[in-house]
Structure 1
Amino acid sequence: MAKVNRARSTSPPDGGWGWMVVAGCFLVTICTRAVTRCISIFFVDFQTYFSQDYAQTAWIHSIVDCVTMLCGLGFALCYSPAIAMVGKYFSRRKALAYGISMSGSGIGIFILAPVVQLLIEQFSWRGALLILGGFVLNLCVCGALMRPITLKDDQTTAEQNHVCRTETQGFQRASPSSTWTKEWVQTCLCGSLQQEYNFLLMSEFVVLAISVLFMAYGCSPLFVYLVPYALSIGVSHQQAAFLMSILGVIDIIGNITFGWLTDRRCLKNYQYICYLFAIGMDGLCYLCLPMLQSLPLLMPFACTFGYFDGAYVTLIPVVTAEIVGTTSLSSALGVVYFLHAVPYLVSPPIAGWLVDTTGSYTAAFLLCGFSMIFSSVLLGFARLVKKMRKTQLQFLAKESDPKLQLWTNGSVAYSVARELDQKDGESVAIAMLGSNPT
């Protein structure tokens, strides 16, 4: 096999071939996330053809989403690596790059929603799925754009791993059956794994992981039940598909504008808070949804939910990188998207069961809304506790050593410190004179 030429760089280039990687990731999100979310347009056709209730039919969409996030199968082999590659190529413009990349989901929904409805009417749901399958083959083209890049941190890690492998091979050749050699091999392997996944022991990442579970539970059912809900209140099939298109195009605006805004100097240090705000706003939209009983009311909902959905999706990699750093970003993103799997699997069927049991969408939407709000509140509380603890530690450090106390006037601080040093010197001299009277 031909060797892959790796681009050498000491820091993320923030441009160059990175924009081609962004284009590739953009197409990947169209072919994966947009196609998956358009499955909701097939919902009523599946339900009618197979004569199943909401809970049973919802498993189709939930299994697709779950397998994408859980395994190394299908869409998962494209989605997570493409997102991680964008993080490798960008640092200063990371939020904007992710905004453009993730906007493929919204653009895909905007274009595919009416197209899929038209395909179903012309070729039935079987023919529409076959055509979508051919469209998804463009993922092969996207993969060709992903050129590996080696950063400074990656070079350091690779050199450490190379040294470890070299020493291990030398010990194995010298004494292949030695107990000490086996222990050394195990130590090297454990050290490599620990270095790669040490972020799993970070309390801040654990809190992020828990919040992702609740956020993922809340975000998934809307893309399954928005079209059926619209149909249940008297909206036509074409109008319901148009709602999905609105959701998609506003999602694009949210992706790009929110990424651009949070890259500005005034908001650069508040990306974490912006992420919490976006999730909380989507939760509030869910709580209002059962009161919206007509198309003119559903359209503002689709705009608001779509914008903040695109906003927080853009910031997931940014927030993850802020917590774990660039070196472990690929592995950390893999874990974060892996955690989406179980909520994606169970939330649409649970929502369907609530609809079947209560005869209304209210309970399902309220549960999703409170789940997303709890995710936002949990992360906000964790960040507040971290800041309070940091402030307390700084205060204790100042109290323990008066020389470390800070004043606004630097000359005063210097003179006080000098006086303390003089007093220490005088006390030492007096003690020495007292011990030696001659």
Structure 2
Amino acid sequence: CSVRLSFFLWGIMRLGFCLSFQPSVTMMGHYFLRRRAFANALSSTGTALGLSTLPLLANFLLGQFGWRGSFLVLGGLLLNCCVCGAVMRPLGAKHSGAQRTLTNKAAQGLSKQPIKGPLQQEKEGLKARLRTAFSDLVVFLRRHMAFDLLVSNPRYRAYALGVTWMMLGFVVPLVYLVPYATANGMEQDRAALLMAVLGLVNIAVRPVAAVFFGLPRFSGCFVYVFAVALLVNGLSNSICGAAATFSVLLIYVVIFGLSMSVIGSLLFTVLMETVEMSRFPSALGLISMLESGTLLIGPPLAGMLVDSTGHYSYVFYACSVTVSSSGLFLIAAFYYLDRQKKRAGPPAAAYQQKPAISLVPDCQYSHVPSTQGGKPAISLVPDCQYSHDPSTQGERSADTVCVTNV
């Protein structure tokens, strides 16, 4: 297997990950309504489980079967994603009999239309076909991409910018933690133990976070909890850069694992609260594209920083600034947007004075009955239709109240 073929095959594998990851997250949001935060947090536990077990499994397979056998076993393990995808079913709406009849009639009408042959299609010309393809592409992009949300939805715009900036330094400590520890004289086994502790913390915390975030008291404040977790996660990187002893790094991985668990549990829940579920797939796709850019350049930039300075500690300081600033940005942005929403209040149409007499919409006046005893007579007339107000009898005009279905 050559290097070029490896790059090509890894690209196909990552494409498969993308095609399985985003639909599963989207279906999770459609399956659950009240317990959506609990479901997202509980499903993210699988990430923590893989973080703690897959490196150990890969090392064991590499020692027993070599890299070819390891790839075969891991490929068979990933093949179970097909089984999981087959279990999932879309939630389709139930069609009534009238709708089915209408659909059948429409299909019969379409079947009676003449079908254009190949020769007639060729006569339409290349320009017409290109114009149609371009218009279809524009409609497809408008429907399935969320570029309009970046302009029209300020909350989504703030969340997308904050998460994209966060990804620049969020995963870099996971890449450089073991090299940082071994470069400062720590044994390889003890350095690998730090990653195992990080995975165990994630496994233990994420189910607990799922239970807590499923409580009603957390509804509406997920974004602030998410931002505070980002702030704690970023500040913990500065602890790692200050010292490289095993005890200090152990404290670091515990704090990092706690904050990482909260971030992973709320990453998609906050997005589901920011946009409508009908636009969630396109919104998630756009954020994933933006994240991929910063996620791609983050580790190489960290490597360049290590090569230029000769110290791994500067990498953790840079990650601390990046992740902490993203948390502060989200707190400030959403606090400002919430204040603006409270100041705006309900729409002005809610304050419009409604008629106090007519209880039926579209009630038209045709006549007003005469008063009795100097007081206006109140007529409870079903389906009354008044067109004009003639001269009144007595001191005041009569009031008429239209009441239907009484």
TM exceeding 0.5: yes
Tell me the equivalent position of 1:85. Answer: 27
2:162 aligns to what? 211
Q: For residues 358-437 of structure 1, what are the structure 2 equivalents within 5 Å?
A: 358-394=309-345
CA, structure 1 residues 107+141, in 2 after alignment: closer, same or farther (shift >3 Å)? Answer: same
Do the aligned partners of 1:99 and 1:255 also contact (CA within 8 Å) in 2? yes
Pairing partner for 2:149 from 199, 203, 215: 199
Counterpart CA distance in 2 for 1:106 and 1:87 is: 20
Report if aligned partners of 2:181, 2:191 keep a CA contact under 8 Å in 1.
yes
Whole-Å separation in 2 of the counterparts to 1:132 and 1:227: 23
> 2:380 is matched with which residue?
none
Comparing 143-152 with 199-208, greater Cα deviation is found at 143-152
Higher helix share: 1
**Are the counterparts in 2 of residues 275 and 312 from structure 1 also a CA contact under 8 Å?**
yes
| Alignment correspondent of 2:296 | 345
8 Å contact 2:240–2:248 — kept in the other structure? Answer: no
Q: How does 1:328-343 map onto structure 2 within 5 Å? A: 328-343=279-294
2:32–2:39 CA contact under 8 A, matched in 1: yes
Does 2:173 correspond to 1:222?
A: yes
Match of 2:274 in 1: 323
Q: Is it true that 1:308 corresponds to 2:250 in the alignment?
A: no
Unaligned 5+ runs, structure 2: 355-406
What is the alpha-carbon distance in structure 1 between the residues aligned to residue 304 and residue 150 of structure 2? 34
Partner of 1:43: none
| Matched residue, 1:115 | 57
Instruction: Say whether the 8 Å CA contact 1:283–1:370 is kept in structure 2.
Output: yes
The 8 Å contact of residues 163 and 326 in structure 2, kept in 1 or not, is answered as yes
Q: For residues 70 and 312 of structure 2, what CA distance do their matches in structure 1 show?
A: 28
- Residue type of the partner of 1:321? M
AA matched with 1:136: L
Question: How far apart are the structure 2 equivalents of 1:72 and 1:122?
Answer: 26
The residue identity in structure 2 corresponding to 1:199 is L
Aligned to 1:290: 241
Q: What are the within-5 Å matches in structure 2 for residues 82-231 of structure 1?
A: 82-123=24-65, 127-150=69-92, 193-194=141-142, 196=144, 197=146, 198-201=148-151, 202-231=153-182
Give the conservation status (yes or no) of the 8 Å contact 1:280–1:376. yes
How many angstroms apart in 2 are the aligned matches of 1:210 and 1:367?
18
Post-superposition offset of 1:193 = 5.0
Q: Distance in 1 between matches of 2:190 and 2:60?
A: 12
How do 1:9-28 and structure 2 match up within 5 A? none
Q: How many residues align?
A: 333
Cα-to-partner distance string for 1:220-252 (whole Å, 9 max, x where unaligned) = 212211121122222222222221111112122
CA RMSD between the two structures: 4.2
Structure 2 CA distance for aligned equivalents of residues 184 and 137 of structure 1: 39
Asked whether the equivalents of residues 165 and 294 of structure 2 are also in contact (C-alpha less than 8 Å), the reply is yes
CA separation of 1:371 and 1:325: change in aligned 2, threshold 3 A: same
TM-superposed CA distance for 1:187, in Å, is: 7.9
Structure 2 counterpart of 1:390, which letter?
K
Q: Which runs of 5+ in 1 are unaligned?
A: 1-49, 51-59, 405-438
**1:117·1:238 contact (CA, 8 Å) conserved in 2?**
no
Q: How far 1:117 sits from its partner (Å)?
A: 3.1
| Contact preservation (8 Å) 1:114, 1:241 | no
Which SS does the other structure have where 2:16 is aligned?
coil
- The counterpart of 1:354, out of the listed 290, 305, 317, is 305
- Check 1:87–1:203 CA distance in 2 against 1; reply closer, same or farther (3 A cut): same
Letter in 1 for 2:149: F
Distance 2:80 2:197 in 1: 25
* One-letter amino acid of the counterpart of residue 39, structure 2: A
Correspondences of 1:230-245 after superposition (within 5 Å): 230-245=181-196
Q: Residues of 2 paired with 1:185 and 1:359: CA distance?
A: 54
Amino acid at match of 1:137: L
- Calculate percent identity across the aligned residue pairs: 29
Q: Is the 8 A contact 1:114 1:238 kept in 2?
A: no
Shift of residue 360, structure 1, vs aligned partner: 0.6
Contact 1:227 1:241 in 2 (8 A): yes
What code does the residue aligned with 2:49 have? I
CA distance in 2: counterparts of 1:188 and 1:131, whole angstroms? 43
Q: Answer yes or no: is the 8 Å Cα contact 2:223–2:270 preserved in 1.
A: yes
Matches of 2:137 and 2:333, distance apart in 1: 33
Distance 1:330 1:402 in 2: 38
| Secondary structure in 2 matching 1:83 | helix
Task: Provide the C-alpha distance between the structure 2 equivalents of 1:237 and 1:118, rounded to a whole number of angstroms.
Answer: 15
Q: How many Å separate the matches in 2 of 1:348 and 1:243?
A: 20
| Letter paired with 1:241 | A
TM-score, normalised relative to structure 1: 0.65
Matched position secondary structure for 1:327: helix
Aligned partner of 2:328: which letter? V
Partner Cα separation in structure 2 for residue 102 and residue 316 of structure 1: 10
* 2:164–2:287 CA contact under 8 A, matched in 1: no
- Give 1:129 shift: 4.3
- Contact 1:251–1:310, Cα closer than 8 Å, also in 2: yes
**Any idea what the Cα deviations from partners look like across 1:305-364, whole Å, max 9, x if unmatched?**
112112112211111111111111122112222222111111101111111111111221
Question: What's the secondary structure of 1:150's corresponding residue?
Answer: coil
TM-score normalised by structure 2 residue count: 0.69
